[in-house]
Amino acid sequence: MIHLSSSSAATGAVALIGGGNMARSLISGWVAHGITPSNIHVAEPLGELRETLTRDFGVSTHTDALDAVQNADLWLFAVKPQVMHRVCETLAQEAQHRRPLAVSIAAGVTAAQIEHWLGDRIAVIRCMPNTPALLGTGVTGLYANDIANNTQRDSADRLLAAVGITVWIENETLMDAVTAVSGSGPAYAFFLAEAMEAAAIAEGLPATEARALVLHTLFGAARMLLESGESPAELRRKVTSPGGTTQAAIEALKTGGFEALINRAIHAARERGRTLAALND
């Protein structure tokens, strides 16, 4: 069971601003780990999403964010970066009164921006979960500003650990790299699977069999990476026999600039995160 050890522990109330896919995965993890659904207050403007969340999890839903944050000392913002400024400003007066812990999953929005928009001197923790959180197998990078204390850090960690592992970053400038590697990372794996499946079909395999071979190959490889205790390079070396089929494939990837392409892709994602922060100033 998750125990909130911040000042919200007295009520156990958590306010979730935004009720989209990531919010849904977080709620699922929280409920599974023992948070009482009625103590989760979700602000979501779309009626269909509110109805679905209430039906599926029994959480309390609200159209207005101000209603959701009443009696909650931990506010988790799960809205698009482009609307964070406006949402925070609508809650600034209440934030100054309540002094909550503000947790944000908005990419590219800095802790300083959030603190300023909420009226200054607010504890802020930025976090970047990823979509495998939907299955409870995500990974979340977190950064806390200097106002957040250890108790508040622990509360945020417990909430995000409900949907996967957590990794703390002490330098906020690295949060854009976290977003580029793990936040966007599942899409890279999906793209690889998509390309492998298309290549398998081009080699003559039927579509159904091609998909099964690709998906279970990637699943098995991921398990080996997690469970073997060996580095990716060592695992690759073990499966690559000199002069064999795997070596031919690896050489083709290297000749095609595979490693450099991955570097450029992750760097491009990181730079986009920096651009989002500038756009939100």
Query: 108 falls in which pLDDT band (50, 70, 90)?
Result: confident
Q: How far apart are the C-alpha atoms of 20 and 5, rounded to whole Å?
A: 26
Would you say residue 22 lies in a domain?
yes
Do 87 and 206 belong together in one domain? no
pTM assigned to the model: 0.87
Query: 273 falls in which pLDDT band (50, 70, 90)?
Result: confident
Last residue of a domain, which of 142, 175, 208? Answer: 175
Last residue of a domain, which of 175, 210, 231? Answer: 175
Q: How far apart are the C-alpha atoms of 241 and 230, rounded to whole Å?
A: 18
Q: How far apart are the C-alpha atoms of 149 and 146, rounded to whole Å?
A: 8
Report helix, strand or coil for 211: helix
Do 114 and 243 belong together in one domain? no
Report helix, strand or coil for 254: helix
Would you say residue 180 lies in a domain?
no
Report whether 49 contacts 16 (CB < 8 A): no
Stretch 65-72: mean pLDDT: 94
Tell me, what CATH number does 205's domain have? 1.10.3730.10
Do 164 and 46 belong together in one domain? yes
Picking from 32, 150, 86, 20, the residue whose alpha carbon sits closest to that of residue 280 is 86
Report whether 123 contacts 73 (CB < 8 A): no
Do 14 and 96 belong together in one domain? yes
Q: Which two tokens stand for residue 183?
A: 């936040």
pLDDT over threshold 60, residue 262: yes
Report helix, strand or coil for 128: strand
Picking from 123, 108, 158, the residue whose alpha carbon sits closest to that of residue 280 is 108
Tell me, what CATH number does 163's domain have? 3.40.50.720
Would you say residue 1 lies in a domain?
no
List strand residue ranges (DSSP E) for 78-211, in order.
Answer: 101-104, 123-128, 138-144, 164-168
Do 159 and 57 belong together in one domain? yes
Q: Which domain holds residue 89?
A: 7-175
Please provide the distance, in angstroms rounded to a whole number, between the alpha carbons at the two ends of the chain: 39
Stretch 200-223: mean pLDDT: 98
- How many structural domains is the chain composed of? 2
Report whether 63 contacts 87 (CB < 8 A): no
The pLDDT tens digits of the residues spanning 8-59 come to: 333 468 999 999 988 998 999 899 888 899 999 999 999 999 999 999 999 9
Do 170 and 192 belong together in one domain? no
Instruction: Give the list of residues 6+ apart from residue 138 with CB closer than 8 angstroms, or none.
Output: 25, 129, 130, 131, 132, 163, 164, 165
Q: What is the pLDDT of residue 112?
A: 95
Picking from 106, 184, 178, 171, the residue whose alpha carbon sits closest to that of residue 145 is 171
